[in-house]
Amino acid sequence: MSAIAQVIITVQGRVQGVGYRAACADMARALGLRGWVRNRRDGAVEAFLAGPETHVLRMQEWMWEGPDSALVTQLDVAPGTAEVSVSGFEIRPTV
């Protein structure tokens, strides 16, 4: 069994207006991850991911690619903090 991982990922590049959040949510749900994804006013996309470490790592790989029309130029990963209220995976409003 894989260890549980929690991370905050910030994605930069052409990631807004290209379906990145919806595709991210679909992939996270397919992998059985909990968390959220949202746009930031600075043009980045931010996501909190929680789940088996192997699935979180697979999601990080996917986030470098994103949907076909995205162009990811930078992916920053930081340890996440427990968000006990998060169940499932949701798209949150822009911050």
Q: Which residue among the candidates 39, 40, 58, 92 is catalytic per the annotation?
A: 39
Active-site residue 14, yes or no?
no
Q: Say which of 21, 29, 38, 92 is annotated catalytic.
A: 21
Residues 13, 73: contact at Cβ < 8 Å?
Answer: yes
Question: Can you spell out the DSSP letters for 49-81?
Answer: EEEEHHHHHHHHHHHHH-STT-EEEEEEEEE--
**Is position 21 annotated as part of the catalytic site?**
yes
Q: How many residues does the chain have?
A: 95
Q: Which residues are catalytic?
A: 21, 39
